Structure 1
């Protein structure tokens, strides 16, 4: 059974420290949203409640300052009635097993190749994600990378459901990385403007699979020499891989 911890594993004693985001970086899509959409679709009344709440929660998700509130609302709908994080762990396992083929196709081969290159070089690789770490770790088990340390959103019982108790997002992601011992970052890979604190802290930031409308902003904030790459997300921006 998966454990509901915020992170696991310790930094290795040598090599560069390399941080990967997960969604839209190693995985084509938002893995947490896919999980909680599955949880909502388990019953008709959860689906109906989500539809009723969508006009309120949807706009909250659209804007970075309120995004976590909108996401938390849908997470609450998907888990209301549950009182233990272990229940969500079991359901996460069921979701990954039930949708294994589709989830596996979303893992980005080039991204996994870059991750493997860092591991082969002896670098200290950690994944820092807004998704629950149990979910990212279960998906990475498809490609035998489940032992790569994962720092992610912690979940626990609250308000009659199991929701995020600490969201690994924006500045909070940096605090969680530092608390886990990753105080100096050599290379960081992410698609998200929410990860600007991470990208700005890294000696060598690399933007991968950004939204097309965000490319100019990344170049302005991080400098024109910062790589902005597309690792296989068809609806995303960045310089395309060679044919």
Structure 2
């Protein structure tokens, strides 16, 4: 198990050859789940959405033992019921602008690390379960609008915006491969959900991971990971 401090990148960063470097978003560049915060904000804005979710509660509780993901997806769809693509983009951009004004919302050390990779000439890609428009808007607000993004996707429907693709776990590797990216040098994550992405990386980097989580990931990978403490 390797460790690093808040001011240093893994030793491989010193290599001059351009590399492909992946960053998870939630829990790495930003604290918490950004899309969850967006959905909560949507419910807080209008009581009819809360009422509709409440009326759906019996059905959601019936679904919960079988699929927590399906319940969460239903709540997301309710939050954007009747919202077309143009209105969704405007709402995501507005929330992104509000989010970046919150103090201590973002991991300063992680953002500095990302910018150092950019300065070193690396190909930096944010690979996230957050929805594409939202994460792209947040990065734009942070002055990182040129970063490549591989993210979850929505699609418009007659009932509002609906989930098209949830980019988590093995889906991240699949979506990268669909873009012709089948190997990468470094991958930064804070979660065991990203084991498929970390497994492909020449160097897997765990951000602010507890020892128990680190050992779990190392067992799954069959090799050591680099640990960094970033704040």
TM category, shorter: 0.7 to 0.9
1:151-190 superposed matches below 5 A: 151-158=150-157, 160-190=159-189
1:194 corresponds to which residue?
Answer: 193
Structure 1 unmatched ranges of 5 or more: 1-13, 233-243
Structure 2 unmatched ranges of 5 or more: 1-16
2:53 corresponds to which residue?
Answer: 50
> How far did residue 167 of structure 1 move?
1.2
> How far did residue 169 of structure 1 move?
1.1
1:81 corresponds to which residue?
Answer: 82
Moved more, 126-135 or 154-163: 154-163
How far apart, CA to CA, are the structure 2 residues paired with 1:214 and 1:163?
33
Which of 33, 37, 48 is the matching residue for 2:40? 37
Aligned residues: 215
> How far did residue 118 of structure 1 move?
0.9
Q: Normalising by structure 2, what TM-score?
A: 0.82
Matched, 1:139 2:153: no
How far apart, CA to CA, are the structure 2 residues paired with 1:45 and 1:194?
34
How far apart, CA to CA, are the structure 2 residues paired with 1:99 and 1:92?
10
Q: Is this contact kept in 2: 1:137–1:147, CA < 8 A?
A: no
> How far did residue 58 of structure 1 move?
8.5
How far apart, CA to CA, are the structure 2 residues paired with 1:215 and 1:159?
44
1:15 corresponds to which residue?
Answer: 18
How far apart, CA to CA, are the structure 1 residues paired with 2:24 and 2:62?
24
How far apart, CA to CA, are the structure 1 residues paired with 2:57 and 2:213?
25
Q: Is this contact kept in 2: 1:169–1:194, CA < 8 A?
A: yes
Moved more, 147-156 or 129-138: 129-138
Distance 1:227 1:95, change over 3 A: same
Question: Which stretches of structure 1, 4 residues or more, deviate above 6 A after TM superposition?
Answer: 58-61
SS in 1 for 2:22: strand
> How far did residue 19 of structure 1 move?
0.6
How far apart, CA to CA, are the structure 1 residues paired with 2:58 and 2:145?
37
How far apart, CA to CA, are the structure 2 residues paired with 1:117 and 1:162?
36
> How far did residue 106 of structure 1 move?
1.3
Moved more, 189-198 or 150-159: 150-159
How far apart, CA to CA, are the structure 2 residues paired with 1:224 and 1:55?
46
Which structure shows the bigger proportion of residues in strand conformation? 2
Distance 1:200 1:87, change over 3 A: same
Q: Normalising by structure 1, what TM-score?
A: 0.78
Q: CA RMSD in A?
A: 2.7
Q: Is this contact kept in 1: 2:93–2:138, CA < 8 A?
A: no
How far apart, CA to CA, are the structure 2 residues paired with 1:207 and 1:59?
36
